[in-house]
Amino acid sequence: MKLSARNVLKGTVKKIVPGAVNSEVVIELPGGTQVVSIITKESVESLGLKVGKEVYAVIKASNVMVAID
């Protein structure tokens, strides 16, 4: 697999919250940090995502915002 994204994080599916159209997928990285992604229900099914499956969180962003209180 080759990607243009520079942030590819390997982790394990910790939780899937299915919705009518979209599902929330929680990926746990080594060390316990969690990344959450909202993807289509169809994508969850076509990727065969299940709790415990090893996956990659691929992050591609051209902007990163910084905020303060």
pLDDT of residue 61: 77
pLDDT of 43 strictly over 80: yes
Q: Give CA–CA dist 27/24, Å, rounded.
A: 10
pTM of the predicted protein model: 0.85
**Which residue segments constitute the domains of the chain, with CATH numbers given?**
7-59 (2.40.50.100)
- Strand, coil or helix: what is 44? helix
Asked if 41 and 22 count as a contact pair (C-beta separation under 8 A), the reply is yes
pLDDT at 10 over 90: yes
Question: Is residue 11 within 8 Å of 22, Cβ to Cβ?
Answer: no
What percent of the chain has pLDDT above 90?
72
Q: Could you tell me the two tokens for 38?
A: 């909202």
SS3 content of the chain, % helix, strand, coil (to 5): 10, 45, 45
Is pLDDT at 30 greater than 90 in this prediction?
A: yes
